[in-house]
Amino acid sequence: MADRVPTVIADDVHVVYKVNAGARKGGATAALGRLLSRRADPGVREVHAVKGVSFTSYRGEAIGLIGSNGSGKSTLLKAIAGLQPVARGTVYSHGQPSLLGVNAALMNDLTGERNVILGGLAMGMSRQQVHERYQDIVDFSGVNEKGDFVSLPMRTYSSGMGARLRFSIAAAKDHDVLMIDEALATGDAAFQRRSQKRIEELRARAGTVFLVSHGIGTVRETCDRAIWLEAGVLRMDGPAEEVCAAYEAHSGG
């Protein structure tokens, strides 16, 4: 369609990173010697995590990334966000993609309130916008449903509370491209319904949402398109229902 506006183009993207296979003896002096002599460190191996992936996303789409553990889903999102170097190929994006992961760094020693303010500023909101949306962020997250947790340090939160607060901060701002890594896997059914509704609102405002989830049901309910990665290779890209069904048939789910 002529009016479809691309938001992300991945063109033959390869991602290779190095993994330390174990503790190395000899300390910094030995490591420096290997660097200066250009010798390969036998304790380091290369992982080819994403292998020649190509696709184009468009405004208004919600795209689920599915695949088994280690298939390259999270690595691909990091490459799109510019957080992981691409070994070969190119990623083009409209605006700055925003990556929200359940392990996104909020500061454990600061209160939830301070994290909402700093997180909002980090997402590109002005102080005025953070002030205006502050209560909505707290209410959406539900962290105060069982007490005044927003005034307590983040280290007192459960992992689910922290994940909900991270999602709420990111979802308070409209994004050209918002990538969510497993954020909907935590939280009760009510929070998941709120999250899905917010994703629909983001799409309606001409954004694109990528969702990495092990929950095929979540992808079916939230996304209209799915990309299936396996061992770093794009196996299938199409309507969410068709791709999810093919993945389930392959994995015996």
In the block, which residue shows the tokens 């993994």?
Answer: 19
Q: Where are the beta strands (DSSP E) in the chain?
A: 6-20, 44-58, 62-66, 88-93, 98-101, 177-181, 208-212, 225-230, 233-239
Overall residue count recorded for the chain in this entry: 253
Cα–Cα distance for residue pair 64/193, rounded to 1 Å: 17
**Domains with residue ranges and CATH for the chain:** 6-36+44-251 (3.40.50.300)
**The pLDDT of residue 92:** 95
Pairing of β 6-20 and β 88-93: antiparallel
Cα–Cα distance for residue pair 6/67, rounded to 1 Å: 24
**The pLDDT of residue 23:** 53
Q: For the whole model, what pTM was predicted?
A: 0.79
Q: What is the DSSP letter of 191?
A: H
* pLDDT tens, position by position, 122-139: 878 899 999 999 999 999
* Among candidate residues 60, 222, 231, 6, the one with its CA nearest the CA of residue 244: 222
| Class of residue 225 by CB neighbours under 10 A (exposed 0-12, middle 13-18, buried 19+) | buried
**The pLDDT of residue 133:** 95
* pLDDT tens, position by position, 204-227: 876 899 999 878 988 998 899 999
Asked whether the beta carbons of 236 and 67 are under 8 A apart, the reply is no
DSSP code per residue over 92-147: EESS--EEEETT----TTSBHHHHHHHHHHHTT--HHHHHHHHHHHHHHHTTTTTS
**The pLDDT of residue 26:** 60
**The pLDDT of residue 228:** 97
Cα–Cα distance for residue pair 40/143, rounded to 1 Å: 49
> Cα 136 from chain centroid?
22
pLDDT under 70 in the chain at which residues? 1-2, 21-28, 30-32, 34-35, 37-43, 101-105, 183-186, 206, 253
Cα–Cα distance for residue pair 153/107, rounded to 1 Å: 9
Residues 6+ apart with CB under 8 A from 245: none
**The pLDDT of residue 159:** 81
**The pLDDT of residue 135:** 96
Residues 6+ apart with CB under 8 A from 58: 4, 5, 6, 7, 208
